[in-house]
């Protein structure tokens, strides 16, 4: 893994917002702006989706992103593609080194598969995604618009014999990933509230969103 820091200074950002664990955030990043997601305390998963702000039926597609790079892990240089086969954003800096796009978001229902059935009644990313979409309800985006997402700061390696594992995060306090918007995009983040997975030490923590012109 190669790491690439950014020259951008937090004090020159035009927008800064701390997203607490268990909260959603949905906001616009206009074409040419740079979005940074900062892992404040380390090994936190920022479950993230993007929509074309001008036509939200066009949205992030893991299908097209994996195909564009023939690469399972996301890092500097990865192009985040839409379901129309067009670039939405390009990762321009990354001090973590590896991000996931096949681990998906937790949901009450998938929790009830992965963990005991009683975990159905625990907070989860899909509920946060749906709350986030509700802040932009004029777009009429619903559950069907929540495809497999990106998990920034998550490490989900696949071995050559086809075994998929969840490893301890490769992130740490202060690590970040930065991306340039290639179109006007809406970013939807669920700062993951998962309490059943050792990969965040059972301790979900805040992330910060920063945007530069």
Partner 1 sequence: MKVLHEELIPGGWHWSHVVKRGTALRLTDLEGGACAAIVLFNPLDTSERYNLPDTLKAQFTAKLTTGHALYSDMGRVLLSILEDEVGWHDPLGGLVDDARLESRYGVKNYQQYRNAFTRSGKRALLTEMARHELGVRDLTTPVNFFAKVVVDEAGRLLWSPQETKGRSVVLQAEMDVLVVIAATQHRLDPRPDWDPRAVKAELVESNVPAEANPAWAHSDQNKRGFHNAALYAL
Closest CB 68 distance from partner 1, rounded Å: 9
For residue 145 the two structure tokens come to 């618009």
Helix (H, G, I), strand (E, B) or coil at 110: helix
For tokens 């490893």, what's the residue?
167
Contact range with partner 1 by CB under 8 A, out of 20-28, 54-62, 87-95, 184-192: 54-62
Q: Does 112 bind partner 1 (CB under 8 A)?
A: yes
Pick between residue 43 and residue 151 the one whose CB is nearest to partner 1.
151
Q: Residue 212: left if φ>0, alpha if ψ -120 to 50, beta else—which one?
A: beta
Closest CB 209 distance from partner 1, rounded Å: 23
> Which residue in 115, 105, 109 sits closest to 154, CA to CA?
105
Is the distance from CB of 105 to CB of 146 less than 8 angstroms? Answer: yes
Closest CB 81 distance from partner 1, rounded Å: 10
Closest CB 124 distance from partner 1, rounded Å: 11
Is the distance from CB of 74 to CB of 65 less than 8 angstroms? Answer: yes
> Which residue in 90, 86, 92, 31 sits closest to 64, CA to CA?
86
Q: Does 66 bind partner 1 (CB under 8 A)?
A: yes
Q: Does 59 bind partner 1 (CB under 8 A)?
A: yes
Helix or strand (DSSP H, E) at 128: helix 125-134
Contact range with partner 1 by CB under 8 A, out of 6-14, 38-46, 145-153, 168-176: 145-153
Pick between residue 7 and residue 117 the one whose CB is nearest to partner 1.
117
Considering only 3, 20, 158, 172, the residue that binds partner 1 (CB under 8 A) is: 158
Q: Does 182 bind partner 1 (CB under 8 A)?
A: no
């Amino acid at each position: 893994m190669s790491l690439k820091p950014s020259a951008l200074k937090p004090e020159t950002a035009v927008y800064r917002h701390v997203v607490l664990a268990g909260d959603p955030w949905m906001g616009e990043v206009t074409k040419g702006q740079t979005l940074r997601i900062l892992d404040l305390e380390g090994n936190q998963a920022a479950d993230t989706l993007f929509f074309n702000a001008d036509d939200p039926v066009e949205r992030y597609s893991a299908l097209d992103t994996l195909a564009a790079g023939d690469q399972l892990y996301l890092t500097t240089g990865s192009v985040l593609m839409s379901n129309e086969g067009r670039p939405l954003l390009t990762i321009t800096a990354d001090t973590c080194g590896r991000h996931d796009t096949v681990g998906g978001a937790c949901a009450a229902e998938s929790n009830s598969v992965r963990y005991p059935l009683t975990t159905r009644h625990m907070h989860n990313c899909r509920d946060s995604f749906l709350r986030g979409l509700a802040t932009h309800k004029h777009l009429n985006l619903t559950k069907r618009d929540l495809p497999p997402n990106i998990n920034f700061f998550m490490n989900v390696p696949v071995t050559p014999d086809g075994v998929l594992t969840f490893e301890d995060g490769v992130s740490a306090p202060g690590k970040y990933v930065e991306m340039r918007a290639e179109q006007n995009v809406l970013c939807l983040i669920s700062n993951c509230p998962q309490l059943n997975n050792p990969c965040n030490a059972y301790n979900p923590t805040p992330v910060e969103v920063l945007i530069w012109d």
